[in-house]
Amino acid sequence: MLTKRIIACLDVSHGRVVKGVNFVDLKDAGDPAELAYRHAASGSDEVVLLDITATHEQRGILLDAVHRAARELFVPFTVGGGVRSLENAASLFDAGADKITINSAAVTNPELITEIAERFGSQAVVIAIDAKSRSSSPTDYEVYVTGGRKPTGRDALAWAKEVESRGAGEIMLTSMDRDGTQIGFDCPITAAMAQSVSIPVIASGGAGNAGHFVEVFTEGHADAALAASIFHYGIANVGELKQTLLAANIPVRWPC
C-alpha cells in the first residue's frame, strides 16, 4: 500500500537554514546539509530545501548548499526558490536535486512547466501554489506569487488543473491563511484540490501538532504533508508523528 509522506522543509537564506514567523525575525537554525541528513535519518520521507531569499547573487550559495545536502541524502530531495528557466533547473539537478519546485515563474511563464517536464520528466517538477481564501466559500481561493505578496486573480483549483495538464508531477499547496499559525492545515481547500487533480497534492501551512497531520490525511485527502517549523528545535519528531499516524490507521513508512 502506498504510504502518506511526511516532508521536512528547510527554509534557507544566505546558505543557512532559518526559522521565523511569517518570514520576519529570522533565527539561524543550522547548516542545510547537516539538517537535511538529520531529517532523513530520523524518518522524513523527503526533504525540501527552499531558498527564501533567492536572488541572482545567491545562486552560487544555493548550489553549494544543494550539492552538500545531496551528497549523503538517499531519499527524494526537492529544491526551490527563484527557478526561472530551464537552465536554472538544470543547474539544480546537476547539483543533486531530484525535483525542483516553481512558484511565481510558473504563473508568469506556464510553458516553463512543460519545458522542464519534457527534459527532466514530470516526476521532477513540483508546482508550488500559494493560495488565499477570497470569499466565504470553502474552496474559493486565489493564487498569490512573489512570496505571497502579489495576487494574480487566478482561481487556485483552476490553476491546479492547468499545471497538471502542462506536465507538473506534483502540487505543493500552501494555505496562506494557515501558514505560520500552527492551528492546523487547511483541510477543505486541500481536499478540493486533491480530488480535482490526479497528481499528488502536498499540503503545507499550519502544522502545529500530530493531530493536524491526521486531519490533513483523512479530511484533507492529502498525499503528503510538509512542515518546517515543528521539526526544528526538536518541537516534534518524525518518529512520534508517524506512530500517531499509524495508530490512526494512516499508512506511513515506519519503521524505516
Partner 1 sequence: MITIIDYRAGNLASVQKALAHIGEQSVVTDDPHSVRKAERIVLPGVGHFAAMQRLDDLGLKSAIRDAIARGVPFLGICLGLQWLFEGSTEAPNVEGLGVFPGLCERFPSSVKSPHVGWNRLRRRHFCYLLQRVNEGAFVYYTHSYRAPLVDGAVGISTYGDTFAGAVERANVFGVQFHPEKSGDAGLQILRNFCAYNPMCQPQAVPSSEGVA
CA-closest candidate to residue 116, choices 143, 87, 137: 87
Report if residue 24 touches partner 1, rule: CB under 8 A. Answer: no
The binding track of 226-255 with respect to partner 1, each residue x by CB under 8 A or -, is: ---------------------------x-x
Number of residues that bind partner 1 (CB under 8 A): 35
Please confirm, yes or no, whether 11 is among the known catalytic residues.
Answer: yes
d(CA 225, CA 7): 6
**Residues 149-178 close enough to bind partner 1 by CB under 8 A:** 169-170
For helices 187-196 and 156-165, give the axis angle rounded to 10 degrees.
Answer: 30
Beta carbons within 8 Å of 190's beta carbon, 6+ residues apart: 173, 175, 201, 203, 216, 220, 221, 222
Using CB under 8 A, pick the residue from 224, 226, 236, 241 that binds partner 1: 224
Compute the least distance from the CB of residue 88 to partner 1, in Å.
14
Compute the least distance from the CB of residue 118 to partner 1, in Å.
8
Using CB under 8 A, pick the residue from 200, 209, 237, 244 that binds partner 1: 200
- In the set 45, 98, 130, 186, the catalytic residue is 130
Comparing CB distances to partner 1, the nearer of 57 and 87 is: 87
**In angstroms, how far apart are the furthest CA atoms of the chain?**
47
The two beta strands, 24-30 and 46-51, are: unpaired
Half-sphere exposure of 78 (CA within 13 A, CB side): 28
Using CB under 8 A, pick the residue from 20, 76, 148, 180 that binds partner 1: 76
Compute the least distance from the CB of residue 97 to partner 1, in Å.
8
Beta carbons within 8 Å of 229's beta carbon, 6+ residues apart: 19, 180, 182, 207, 235
d(CA 30, CA 232): 9
Report if residue 119 touches partner 1, rule: CB under 8 A. Answer: yes
Report if residue 121 touches partner 1, rule: CB under 8 A. Answer: yes
Please confirm, yes or no, whether 130 is among the known catalytic residues.
Answer: yes
Known catalytic residues are 11, 130
Residues that bind partner 1 (CB under 8 A): 1-5, 40, 45, 70-72, 74-76, 93-96, 98, 118-124, 169-170, 198-200, 223-224, 253, 255-256
